């Protein structure tokens, strides 16, 4: 069964998924029996197009590259332009919404409303926006359940590295009592450069910005806010415990000095920005803070922009997963993970 997709937002991540769908079309069809048809794209800056029979991916990417406006897509019978995001969600024939819009992290909007409208119209949602999952998980999960649709958000924690799918599937049967993680590549890159090359914080940050690891305004990364959203997602989804962003203690790395780095070395330790969540009775206690960790800790050897996460399991002990935490192709792949999950669920239910 072909999955019909509508993209809400079409920035780097959306284009990353689109490129994967183009390049892996034959491979996915032959190995998974999976086919996707992009029927609509709605982007507040790049324009909006919809064709119920499907859009040509190569033409979409070429038009965007050459003109910057999707509405310059070749005029064909049945092509509709100019629909906003909510109209696209409600009125196109897409069965799955790829929600990759620009979203306010403080409010989760407009992505929260996009999810609600999609669910109410019987449509699945796959997304990489952290805001809705961190700020409205219980409400949106209940709504998706009510309308019996799939809500996928693998890419919200560690990009395409399966920080959510892996524990839910392959660690099933374990109780995960604690999570410790490096969830922000920018801060890990900075700390690595400070230790290995003796760069002061400001110089390491500038280098991270020049390489594209950090935004011009790096506050969310270096002060730990990005990691705080991610640990909330992990607590709610993996540990099945209600945790809000405001309940998480948060301290960043901007006060770490080269002297601190050197002191840690003499102690046989290494600084990392650690996101942690630990079950205590019926609740979860979580924090984001720089820690001097022992070199025996698997997280101590995660360098550069790489992310990693350790799950403490009651049956298996500690299990550590590491991999990319960002990137166009990597985050695009996270959306593919969720699309394939929908496909496999459909295939199983039809047998």
Burial of 146 (0-12, 13-18, 19+ CB in 10 A): exposed
State how far the Cα of 69 lies from the Cα of 25, in Å rounded to an integer: 25
Any idea which residues carry the catalytic annotation? 230
**What's the CA gap between 287 and 227, in Å, rounded?**
9
Q: In what order do the strands lie in the sheet with 283-294?
A: 249-250, 283-294, 269-280, 176-182, 307-313, 317-323
How far is it, in rounded angstroms, from Cα 110 to Cα 101? 8
- Helices marked H in 42-129 — which ranges? 57-67, 85-91, 111-120
User: SS3 breakdown of the chain: % helix, strand, coil, rounded to 5?
Assistant: 45, 20, 35
For residue 126, list its beta bridge partners: 98, 152
Taken as a whole, the chain contains a residue count of: 351
Backbone phi, psi, residue 178, to 5°: -155, 145
HSE (CB half, 13 Å, CA atoms) of 288?
25
Give Cβ neighbours of residue 169 (< 8 Å, ≥ 6 apart).
none
């Amino acid at each position: 069964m072909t999955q019909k997709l509508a993209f809400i937002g079409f920035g780097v991540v959306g284009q990353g998924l689109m490129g994967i769908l183009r390049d892996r079309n034959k491979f996915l069809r032959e190995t998974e029996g999976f086919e996707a048809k992009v029927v609509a794209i709605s982007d507040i800056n790049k324009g909006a197009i919809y064709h119920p029979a499907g859009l040509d991916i190569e033409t979409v990417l070429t038009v965007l590259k050459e003109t910057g406006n999707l509405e310059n897509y070749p005029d064909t019978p049945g092509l509709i332009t100019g629909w906003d995001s909510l109209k696209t969600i409600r009125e196109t024939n897409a069965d799955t919404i790829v929600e990759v819009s620009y979203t306010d992290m403080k409010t989760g909007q407009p992505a929260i409303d996009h999810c609600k409208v999609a669910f109410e119209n019987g449509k699945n949602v796959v997304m990489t926006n952290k805001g809705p999952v961190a700020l409205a998980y219980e409400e949106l999960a209940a709504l998706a359940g009510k309308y019996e649709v799939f809500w996928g958000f693998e890419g919200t924690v560690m990009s395409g590295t399966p920080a959510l799918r892996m524990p839910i599937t392959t660690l099933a049967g374990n109780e995960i009592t604690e999570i410790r993680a490096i969830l922000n590549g920018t801060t890990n890159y900075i700390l690595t450069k400070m230790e290995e090359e003796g760069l002061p914080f400001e110089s390491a940050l500038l280098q991270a910005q020049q390489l594209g690891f950090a935004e011009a305004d790096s506050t969310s990364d270096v002060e730990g806010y990005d990691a705080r959203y991610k640990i909330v997602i992990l607590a709610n989804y993996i540990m099945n415990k209600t945790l809000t962003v405001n309940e998480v203690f948060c301290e960043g790395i901007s006060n770490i000095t080269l002297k601190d780095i050197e002191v840690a070395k003499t102690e046989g330790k290494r600084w990392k920005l650690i996101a942690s969540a630990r079950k205590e009775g019926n609740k979860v206690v979580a924090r984001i803070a720089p820690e001097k960790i022992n070199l025996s800790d698997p997280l101590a050897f995660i360098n550069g922009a790489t992310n990693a996460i350790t799950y403490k399991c009651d049956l298996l002990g500690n299990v550590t997963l590491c991999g990319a935490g960002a990137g166009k192709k990597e985050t695009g792949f996270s959306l593919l993970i969720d699309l394939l999950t929908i496909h496999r669920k459909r295939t199983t239910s039809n047998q």
